[in-house]
Homo-oligomer: A and B are copies of this chain.
Amino acid sequence: MTVSKTPALDLTKTVRGSAPADAGEGDAIKLGELSELLGYSLKRAQLKVFDDFIRCVAPLQLTPAQFSVLLLLERNPGRNQTEIANTLGILRPNFVSMLDGLESRELCVRMRSTNDRRSHVLMLTDKGRSILARAKKLVVSKHEARLNEVLGPENRVALLAMLDKIARDF
């Protein structure tokens, strides 16, 4: 049992540095308490993971956000823009140009709803389904494979569980 002390930040030293000269030449910069800041590690990890995702799925030219939209449209066909945008945490005004991009590539379509002629029913096109299927394969075979390499499968699951808990209960 590795007993790592719980208190993360250590507010002891006050560093009375009044010397106007340069720093300790040659040695590396110390992260210090920064390495215990969850937000810092979270952001750095997120950037890395997004970078890897973009690389893995580069042949299809899909960003993580676009991929998530296509996933939602496949699982929830016939929803309108507000519903899809809301579940992804995207504001409706910003979702418009996103859909413009996907629709101009003929990956999805907007159709006026017959029930409520204000809203647009969103649907994947065949091309959209095809691209999404290929994207999934790349994500599984490259992106998640790399992740399982680094973390190990069981750690990946545990990590996901903790992140979801944060996203929900925080």
Contacts and interface: CB of A to CB of B under 8 A. Distances in A.
Contacts of A169: 150
Contacts of A165: 150-151
Interface of A: 4, 6-9, 11, 14-15, 17, 19-24, 29-50, 52-53, 64, 67-68, 71-72, 74-79, 83-84, 87, 89, 111, 113-116, 121, 123-124, 129, 133, 136-137, 139-140, 144, 146-148, 150-151, 153, 155-160, 162-167, 169-170
B11 A137 contact: yes
Given A17-B78, A17-B124, A29-B83, 11 more contacts: A6-B157, A7-B140, A31-B75, A32-B74, A37-B64, A43-B46, A44-B89, A44-B163, A46-B46, A155-B162, A158-B158
A89 B47 CA distance: 11
Interface of A is mostly: helix
A93 B46 CA distance: 23
B38 A84 contact: no
Contacts of A14: 129, 133
Contact of A77 (B17, B33, B52, B89): B17
A75 B8 contact: no
Contact of A72 (B29, B50, B139, B148): B29
Contacts of A156: 6, 8, 38
A146 to B, nearest CB: 7
Contact of A53 (B9, B33, B39, B75): B39
